[in-house]
Structure 1
């Protein structure tokens, strides 16, 4: 009888690890059984709320188009609606996989926060201070937390052998 090959990347001496890359220690649901930093949770929630805001904007956009709001170009409106829905779906995916600890999501979350800042600052200085602050403050908090060493250490998962979806 032969033994299964050992993977040197996984130490079987780690409690709860079966040596096959699956940890049975569900203390925090984190990759490798480590603790999920609070920064990851905060950033994931910020990105999730941004995705929900875009989805709400898309729903209002559909309502206005259905009730006969004047548009210059019907196909331009359809394109804008498609962009709102696509970016919302992208942010939902970023939030989910950032919470799980995937490396690629840090860059995606950073770019999303920079986009929010480019809309939030003009909104704030253009007379809508509360709406601008509602965009700028979470985006700045997300950017700062993305560079926290615990967040960087946690979000270093590359995918491994299992499918991401």
Structure 2
């Protein structure tokens, strides 16, 4: 089994491109937002106005798992793995889809808060420096 690379670039590794740092920042902000929502759902479990305890527990667990996935993607992307690019791109596409109803509903500020970071998270994984940073080679073969 191959050793897991260090998150700190070594002497043979190029420094992390700004695109990687941008994607990681966006994913960390989304993880913080999901964590705050999870705490909110846990708080509603113990309030008197709870509509569904089971629904609140389910959403809290789902959001905690989402936070764990986002943090894992950030760690692996900083380490130079290429697999986090695809799930982060899918997440950003979902945020774009969720942003458009806010524009038609009359809340363009919320729509922009969802759309602008998602646009950066969609464009950055395809930039040449990010692709070069996340593609590893071992002699003549490309590795994950």
TM-score by length of 1: 0.72
Query: How many residues get paired?
Result: 134
- More strand per residue: 1 or 2? 2
Q: Does 1:55 align with 2:35?
A: yes
Q: Distance in 1 between matches of 2:99 and 2:87?
A: 18
Residues 44-95 of structure 1 deviation map (CA, whole Å, 9 limit, x = unaligned): 0001100110001111121122222231x32222112211111111111111
SS where residue 135 of structure 2 aligns? coil
Q: Which structure is richer in relative contact order (CA contacts within 8 A, separation 6 or more)?
A: 2
- More helix per residue: 1 or 2? 2
CA RMSD of aligned residues (A): 2.4
Q: Which residue is 1:107 aligned to?
A: 86
Aligned match for 1:37, one of 3, 8, 17: 17
TM-score by length of 2: 0.82
Q: Does 1:74 align with 2:50?
A: no
Is there any run of 5+ residues in structure 1 with no aligned partner, and where? 1-20, 159-165
How much has 1:157 moved relative to structure 2? 4.2
Is there any run of 5+ residues in structure 2 with no aligned partner, and where? 138-144
Q: Does 1:118 align with 2:97?
A: yes
